[in-house]
A and B are shown apart, each in its own frame.
Chain A
Amino acid sequence: NAGVTQTPKFQVLKTGQSMTLQCAQDMNHNSMYWYRQDPGMGLRLIYYSASEGTTDKGEVPNGYNVSRLNKREFSLRLESAAPSQTSVYFCASSELGGGRARFGGVSGELFFGEGSRLTVL
């Protein structure tokens, strides 16, 4: 059982280049998330997918796009990378489903991938 797998683990880009971060989970979870982690800023939500077929903006969506390819996979795309997007990116998943009280019902635990360190020069 691999859990949440992210690729690549490291990437260096030049300003203006594009790239896609891939994420896959094998826990049959409904919800998937992309966070970025910067020093002193904590974990900030970029985009999330509460269920297969839906995606929504998080706290810092500008400059990113996402695709929930199927229940297992959730990718994050940088169309034109900028130095401000230098960060560690974490994908996460949880078994939560729909509804306002979803975190109060079934397990709300987020399972994180190992992270992807992206540097934009």
Chain B
Amino acid sequence: GENVEQHPSTLSVQEGDSAVIKCTYSDSASNYFPWYKQELGKRPQLIIDIRSNVGEKKDQRIAVTLNKTAKHFSLHITETQPEDSAVYFCAASGADKLIFGTGTRLQVFP
């Protein structure tokens, strides 16, 4: 079945710097790769997603890139702000279910 690996597990950046989180997946048939943000004590919420027919997608300060050949995808956050502090999860669709990575705790220091 699908296996998703996520790195790093923790990431600390200064406000205004960029943050990059990387994920790899195992199932070459996976075709959907979302990213979820979970603030402390809250439920995970979708922030951006990408489908396998697209190499890059942007939404304001966040962007996701996908390399199907290498089976990896990344989340890029530019001009980080303290409210970006949260746990971020990548995921990949294996058949009819979504398999998540282990999460990255991002801390943005003022």
Point out residues on A near B: beta carbons under 8 Å: 31, 33, 35, 40-45, 48, 50, 56, 58-59, 90, 96, 98-104, 108-110, 112-115
User: A48-B97, A109-B34, A112-B45 are known contacts; what are 16 more A-B pairs with Cβ within 8 Å?
Assistant: A31-B96, A40-B103, A45-B97, A45-B100, A50-B96, A59-B1, A96-B96, A98-B96, A100-B96, A102-B96, A103-B32, A103-B93, A104-B32, A110-B36, A112-B43, A114-B43
| Cβ B44 vs Cβ A112 within 8 A | yes
B49 touches A108 (CB 8 A): yes
- Chain B residues 16 to 53 lying within 8 A of chain A, measured CB to CB, are 29, 31-32, 34, 36, 43-46, 49, 51-53
A56 to B1, CA, bound (A): 13
Chain B residues near A108: list those with CB within 8 A: 32, 34, 49, 93, 98
Which B residue sits closest to A104, measured CB to CB? B31
Chain A residues with Cβ below 8 Å from B34 are: 108-110
B residues with a Cβ closer than 8 A to A are: 1, 6, 9, 29, 31-32, 34, 36, 43-46, 49, 51-53, 89, 93, 95-103
Q: Which residues of A contact B99 (CB under 8 A)?
A: 45, 59
Residues of B within 8 A of A114 (CB): 43
Q: Please give me the 7 A-B residue pairs with the lowest Cβ-Cβ distance, nearest first.
A: A103-B32, A103-B93, A42-B102, A112-B43, A43-B100, A104-B31, A50-B96
B6: chain A residues within 8 A (beta carbon)? 42
Contact partners of A31 in chain B: CB under 8 A:
96
In Å, the complex CA distance between A56 and B9 comes to: 29
B101 CB contacts on chain A under 8 angstroms: 42
Bound CA span A50–B94, Å:
13
